[in-house]
Amino acid sequence: MTGYPFDAYGPEHWTYLLALAFIWVGAIWAGRVWLGPRGRGRVVLLLAVTSLGQELADDLIRAFRGIWDVQDDLPLHLCSLAMLVGVWALLSRRQLVFEVAYYWGLAAASQAILTPDNSRWQQGELDVFWNFLSHGIVVLNVLWLVFVEGMRCRPGSWRRVFLVTNLAVVPIAFVNLAVGSNYFFICRKPGGSSPLLVGDWPWYILGFEVLAATFFWVLSLPMPGRVRNEEEVESSGAGARLSAG
């Protein structure tokens, strides 16, 4: 299937990349320098509402146009799940939830931003915009948790999240069998221009495993600072919710 003609790293792509970088840096600067506890609490709620709202809006637009498809539009792609887990992490500050959001969000959403799959874009410019909006906010949620809320991954967390990822494949596989979908891309290789997609089914899945482990390990490296204990995490989360209210 040929989708919207989109040139990887052409002018349109670079425009979106620079816009996302500006938003990410601006949001982090505002959270660290300009906003107080009450303002940061409100931003957390805004991020959560925007994350869920853009997913719902995309579904409604597709349903209105008659192109919503159970085989592709359930929130069961890894990036959609990363968005949902990221919202959970923003609102709860739970350590394991944050770690899953961190690895899933940065590893998966970054690929969709850097090597987008235009074969799935049926609505032209609207789908281009939604691709960068939906994946950009996944990354923003993680960056906010790290640089503004000060959350850090525990040593060895990448191995735990790698195990969680593989366990998640099991129910997703049953969904794929039931509705003929390709969530997690475990039935067919995704499109896009990534040079990391090697081989046909099932060999590219083995490549996915190696790449996921490698990405997770690399993402675990830039994690300076101590991990707050559970009491500090719960206190921080409760404080943010009270200040927002």
Residues 238, 50, 97, 171: is their CA dihedral positive or negative?
A: positive
Position 142 confidence tier, pLDDT thresholds 50, 70, 90: very high
Position 239 confidence tier, pLDDT thresholds 50, 70, 90: very low
The answer to whether 141 and 49 have CB atoms below 8 angstroms apart is no
> What CA–CA distances, in Å, run from 11 to 5, 15, 20, 118, 180?
13, 6, 14, 15, 36
Unique residue bearing structure tokens 């899933």: 104
What number is the average pLDDT over the span 212-225?
84
Which structure tokens are listed for 42?
Answer: 């409100």
201 or 155, which is more confident?
Answer: 155
**pTM metric for this prediction:** 0.84
Q: Where along the chain do its domains lie?
A: 11-238
N- to C-terminal Cα distance for the chain?
48
The whole-angstrom separation of Cα 85 and Cα 90 is 9
